[in-house]
Copies of this chain bind each other. A is one copy, B any other.
Amino acid sequence: MLRTQTTRPTPGAVKTLDAAERLFSVRGIHAVGVEVIATEAGVTKRTLYDRFGSKDALVEAYLRRRHEQWWAQLQQRLACAAAPAVLAVFDAYLAASDHPGHGCPFLNAAGELPDGHPGLQVVMDHKRQVREEVGRLVEVDLADAAPAELGEHLFLLLEGGIAHRGIDTGVDHLRAARALAEQLMAAAQ
């Protein structure tokens, strides 16, 4: 039986998602076939299709889980974050940069997936939630005295830093973005 939601995932589904995440993150989505995902997962192609139904659905599930994990990690950081709390968003992305991959998996997916693909909605929702969270945190940090465009400003710095993970030479743009965000928050206080 196919179970994309509701019931909790079977061992085979988890192994498949783990393998998909590893492969999609590094090689991209179109470059990875279902065959190699199944092999890498130690699972048959039959099981993959019994669990997910199609490659498109697997891609969507991959993006959805990636967002959920990232979001949970962000909330955990926020629970014990020193002021200003917005910086925790940068830290969450910095921590996610440890395991390798060519840049932001959501931006990469957006560049690869065709219009109407179910995964695209997940990407848009993810970015929208991040944008909103940044705006919210800025207002909280500055006690509603934040300049109107400061949220957008920090979000752009964040996205600029994320987009360049895995492209540029040594220079760590994301860390620079965090430092600039810290400055801006201190100046606005």
Interface size on A, residues (CB 8 A): 40
Rounded to whole Å, the gap between the CB of A112 and the closest CB of chain B is: 5
Task: List the number of copies, as a whole number.
Answer: 2
- Are B159 and A28 closer than 8 Å at their CB atoms? no
Q: Which of B124, B167, B180 contacts A156, CB < 8 Å? A: B180
Q: Residue on B with the closest CB to A166? A: B110
Q: Which applies to chain A's interface (DSSP): helix, strand, loop or mixed?
A: helix
- Are B159 and A163 closer than 8 Å at their CB atoms? yes
Tell me the complex Cα distance, A149–B179, Å.
10
Q: Known: A149-B180, A152-B173. Contact between A110 and B102, CB under 8 A?
A: yes
- Are A163 and B128 closer than 8 Å at their CB atoms? no
- Are A31 and B112 closer than 8 Å at their CB atoms? yes
Contact of A137 with B by CB under 8 A: no
Contact of A11 with B by CB under 8 A: no
